[in-house]
Amino acid sequence: MKRTHVMTALATAVLAAVALTGCTAGGDSKAEPSKKPSASATAKPEKTVYDKCEDGFATILTTNTDAGETFTLGDCANVSIVGPGAEGSRFEIGAVDTLVVEGDQVTASVASAKKIIVAGKGNTVTHGGDAEVQDDGADNTVTAK
């Protein structure tokens, strides 16, 4: 009986050794570093500046111009007029490369323009220069001075 216990113990030890040997990996087994997001700073989104030309761009909010008032902006490469025009309000703009009118009932005059895009309805735009006109709206009037 003793011999059976010894043989059983020896067999168990051999099997355990074989099993453990199979668990060890051979070769270069280096753990990869974890891919956690870094805490580096990201750029803040730029804040939109309204009603003035900054770095060649201007976004004019029509809601900032009351009925009967005239909003004036000098030369600026790219100008967008956004929103519904108040009755009797006017937008006087200097020389531009591109003027975009994204509103309704806006009355605008631009000293000169290379391209004018009108996306709303019932807008009136007068311009100097030989502008390419793209009317994507309805009932708009775009005329040269």
Per-residue pLDDT of the chain in tens (145 residues, 90 and over written 9): 455 454 455 555 544 555 555 555 555 556 565 566 555 555 666 778 899 999 999 999 999 999 999 999 999 999 999 999 999 999 999 999 999 999 999 999 999 999 999 999 999 999 999 999 999 999 999 999 9
CA distance 93 to 111: 6
Half-sphere exposure of 84 (CA within 13 A, CB side): 3
Domain count along the chain: 1
Structural domain contains residue 33: no
Cβ atoms of 81 and 63 within 8 Å: the answer is no
Structural domain contains residue 44: no
Structural domain contains residue 136: yes
**Residue 40: predicted pLDDT:** 56
Structural domain contains residue 37: no
- Would you say the pTM of this structure is higher than 0.85? no
Residue numbers of the domain that contains 102? 57-144
Structural domain contains residue 32: no
Structural domain contains residue 78: yes
Cβ atoms of 105 and 88 within 8 Å: the answer is no
What is the CB neighbour count within 10 angstroms for residue 100? 19
Structural domain contains residue 24: no
Structural domain contains residue 93: yes
